[in-house]
Amino acid sequence: MNNVIRVALPGYNALTDTDPDHFALYTDEDWVLIKEKLRGSQVINAGDTLTINHNLGYVPFFAVYADREWIHGYNIYSNYKCYATTTTLVMINNDVTNRTFAYYIFYDQQV
């Protein structure tokens, strides 16, 4: 067997499991698996909120981008906010202008 790196998700055994869906990192095939559940972009009108359902049952790692900045939670200096729950990703546009938000939701659980 070649050298490999595997990082199993909670509840799975990296030594015996062969399903790539059960891993956060799986490099057996000369490729690195990035565990992405959803991605997209959508215009959020000024003062509106967009909710994306992921239904993972835990708070996933996510990335949100709008108007040339990464959005990180509730930054008091930004007009853009976002947060995740166990079922949704919520993005808020408190700007006076409609903005396109790009989002990525990963299978990895936030710690």
Q: Please check whether residues 45 and 71 belong to one and the same domain.
A: yes
Instruction: State how many domains the chain has.
Output: 2
Query: Mind listing the pLDDT tens digit for each residue in 78-90?
Result: 899 999 999 999 9
Task: Please check whether residues 61 and 20 belong to one and the same domain.
Answer: no
Q: What residues make up the domain containing 85? A: 36-109
Are 42 and 29 within one domain?
Answer: no
Whether residue 29 is found in the same domain as residue 68: no
Cα separation of 55 and 72, whole Å? 21
What type of residue sits at position 87? T
Are 51 and 11 found together in one domain? no
Both 42 and 84 in one domain: the answer is yes
Do 98 and 61 lie in a common domain?
A: yes
Global pTM reads 0.71
Q: Report pLDDT digits (tens) over 10-26.
A: 899 988 988 887 887 77
